[in-house]
Amino acid sequence: MAAGLLSVFVWLLPLLLSTVFFYSRRGPFLDPLCSYLSWNCANQPLVISGLTTTPTDPVLYGPVLQQYLHKFAVNEDLGGSLAVFVDGEPVIDVFAGFKDLRHTIIYDNRTLNQVYSSGKVLEGILIARLVDKGLLDYEEKISTYWPEFAQNGKENVRLKDLMMHQAGVQYLDDDKGDLSWALLRDRTRWSAHLARQKHHFFSGSEPSDKQQLPQRAYHAVTRGWYLDEIVRRVDPQGRDLDQLARDELMAAYPDVELYYGALPNAADWDDRLTPMHDYPVLRLLGRLFIPHALQTHAYLGTPGLAPLHKISSRLFQTKSQTFKSLALPMARRARDFRTKDAHHVPSTSFSLKTNAHSLARLMSMMANQGASYNSSEPNLISQATYERATHHTVELEDHVTLDKHPISHGGWIRTRNFFPDLEGVLVQGWGGAGGSLTVWLEELKMGFCYVTNAMGVVDFTLGDGRAKKLLVLAVQARKQQLGL
């Protein structure tokens, strides 16, 4: 018996070794048969469309584009878009790759992509616009706009606490056991469910005298739900954030597409929206458990590979704040946030479907302190509101992400330490699960957005290694342009 097993093993050994070899050489986002066995490989050339060179200076931003295309060549990216705006004009504005792992469906300029928490950047802009109109105030208590919110310890929570993830409603207690996507469709019950939540800072292991200290815990999923309730109460027409994005932003900037809820046509879900592709589980386990020195080994691994963020293992601890805030009873896994059911009602903290062009265009106006570059188009927000929203930040340890980012009242990161290679450049914005990154750089008058359908590993919590490398190269090009 043992000898039989041994001979099977000896026969299988070459297959096993070649599988491991191909697998380790060929990047994560590829058809599994091709990846393991070198079989079923489509060998389609990469398709890229849009603005690939800058009319004024074709060479300057070339390295950014080369780096972007390199990630497709090594199957670390699959399909997506990248847009960089400088002084209000695009210098890179491309769509590239495929919607499927087999490389048969081209990712083109009609493709929409879910960007998860990158949608929070837009959430912040829409709120700032209401502040601009005097309908909201960051310092005001939420209960001023929504009296029922003043329950269970939440009486004094202000709008800015919610924007900065300090409102204490980072997860929802499912007290009646009916938390589901269907509940979201029942406005009255859903609103009551949100209103009666406890202020979750920080029973359990925290000493009680700490309970009143300001605490931060990423409201990964819930922030948008709470904001939407507030917004519907202050907008004179009772619109939600999704409707405001369409009525105001899509109308003012005709090339911009922003959908938190349903897409314009029923067929768009299948025709235009790209499926998302998860990082393969086997590789993820490898990244978690193989010693990092081996993973970055010059011959056996990939030099320069960033270690996984410590949030990665917390995601498996069901009692942690991280798990409670990122997983819902009806959505335990990332893929559960991209079903039609999950998008029926707009959930602005994760449901935005857009492209890099649209977000980078808005980011370029943020880099201009909210002002439009085109005199026939309105400003995004006034300079006064821009100052108020961005010039106050609070740095606190986040109990969900385990990061310590400075976050502004407007709800965006504002830091000069975003990424070591950025050397002190001021970065503002946010990123999303899977790797999307949406930021503006005021001093460089630059808007940047990277969007992908290839869900990367969590090596950073705002953007991943792919996006950050592109940002670094874009900043280097811009500095060179400015002679800095």
Nearer to ligand NAG, 94 or 121 (CB): 94
Q: How far is the CB of 480 from ligand NAG (least distance, A)?
A: 25
Interface size with ligand NAG, residues (CB under 6 A): 6
Nearer to ligand NAG, 98 or 412 (CB): 98
Q: In the range 298-337, which residues lie near ligand NAG by CB under 6 A?
A: none
| Nearest alpha-carbon partner for 46 in 110, 95, 109, 82 | 95
Q: How far is the CB of 356 from ligand NAG (least distance, A)?
A: 12
Tokens of 269: 């879900």
Which of these segments, 39-47, 60-68, 323-331, 373-381, binds ligand NAG (CB under 6 A)?
373-381
Q: In the range 437-476, which residues lie near ligand NAG by CB under 6 A?
A: none
Nearer to ligand NAG, 28 or 79 (CB): 79
Please report whether residue 376 would count as binding ligand NAG according to CB under 6 A. Answer: yes
Non-local (6+) Cβ contacts of 355 within 8 A are 81, 83, 95, 109, 111, 112, 113, 257, 451
The contact pattern for ligand NAG, residues 40-59, with x = CB under 6 A and - = no contact, is ---------x----------
Which of these segments, 69-77, 277-285, 372-380, 461-469, binds ligand NAG (CB under 6 A)?
372-380
Helix%, strand%, coil% for the chain, nearest 5: 40, 15, 45
Nearer to ligand NAG, 88 or 275 (CB): 88
User: How many other β-carbons are positioned within 10 Å of the β-carbon of residue 103?
Assistant: 24
The contact pattern for ligand NAG, residues 72-91, with x = CB under 6 A and - = no contact, is --------------------
Q: How far is the CB of 257 from ligand NAG (least distance, A)?
A: 9
Q: How far is the CB of 90 from ligand NAG (least distance, A)?
A: 10
Q: Find the length of the chain.
A: 484
Please report whether residue 205 would count as binding ligand NAG according to CB under 6 A. Answer: no
Strand order in the sheet with 79-86: 48-51, 89-97, 79-86, 446-452, 437-441, 427-431, 413-415, 406-408, 393-395
The contact pattern for ligand NAG, residues 5-44, with x = CB under 6 A and - = no contact, is ----------------------------------------
Q: How far is the CB of 251 from ligand NAG (least distance, A)?
A: 10
Euclidean distance between CA atoms 213 and 317, whole angstroms:
25
Euclidean distance between CA atoms 34 and 51, whole angstroms:
31
CA angle 223, 337, 364 (to 5 degrees): 60
Tokens of 213: 């200290």
Nearer to ligand NAG, 258 or 328 (CB): 258
Q: How far is the CB of 138 from ligand NAG (least distance, A)?
A: 30
The contact pattern for ligand NAG, residues 221-260, with x = CB under 6 A and - = no contact, is ---------------------------------x------
CB 380 within 8 A of CB 248: no
The helix or strand, by DSSP H or E, that contains position 20, with its residue range, turns out to be helix 2-25
Euclidean distance between CA atoms 119 and 403, whole angstroms:
20
Of the candidate residues 109, 156, 212, 339, the single one contacting ligand NAG (CB under 6 A): 109
Which of these segments, 23-31, 227-235, 310-318, 371-379, binds ligand NAG (CB under 6 A)?
371-379
Verify cis geometry, omega within 30 degrees of 0, for the bond prior to 202: yes
In the chain the first and final C-alpha atoms are separated, in Å, by 72
Tokens of 360: 């980078």
CB 114 within 8 A of CB 352: yes
Left if phi > 0, otherwise alpha if psi is -120 to 50, otherwise beta: which for 48?
beta
Euclidean distance between CA atoms 120 and 122, whole angstroms:
5
Nearer to ligand NAG, 188 or 374 (CB): 374
User: How many other β-carbons are positioned within 10 Å of the β-carbon of residue 293?
Assistant: 9
| Nearest alpha-carbon partner for 241 in 382, 136, 394 | 136
Please report whether residue 271 would count as binding ligand NAG according to CB under 6 A. Answer: no
Q: How far is the CB of 445 from ligand NAG (least distance, A)?
A: 16
Residue 440 phi/psi, 5-degree rounding, is: -125, 150
Q: How far is the CB of 93 from ligand NAG (least distance, A)?
A: 8
Residue 174 phi/psi, 5-degree rounding, is: -95, 60
Euclidean distance between CA atoms 235 and 484, whole angstroms:
45
Q: How far is the CB of 192 from ligand NAG (least distance, A)?
A: 42
Q: How far is the CB of 109 from ligand NAG (least distance, A)?
A: 4
Nearer to ligand NAG, 377 or 387 (CB): 377
Please report whether residue 374 would count as binding ligand NAG according to CB under 6 A. Answer: yes
Of the candidate residues 155, 377, 397, 423, the single one contacting ligand NAG (CB under 6 A): 377
Please report whether residue 208 would count as binding ligand NAG according to CB under 6 A. Answer: no
Q: How far is the CB of 110 from ligand NAG (least distance, A)?
A: 7
Euclidean distance between CA atoms 424 and 404, whole angstroms:
17
The residues of the shown chain that bind ligand NAG, judged by CB under 6 A, are 49, 109, 254, 374, 376-377
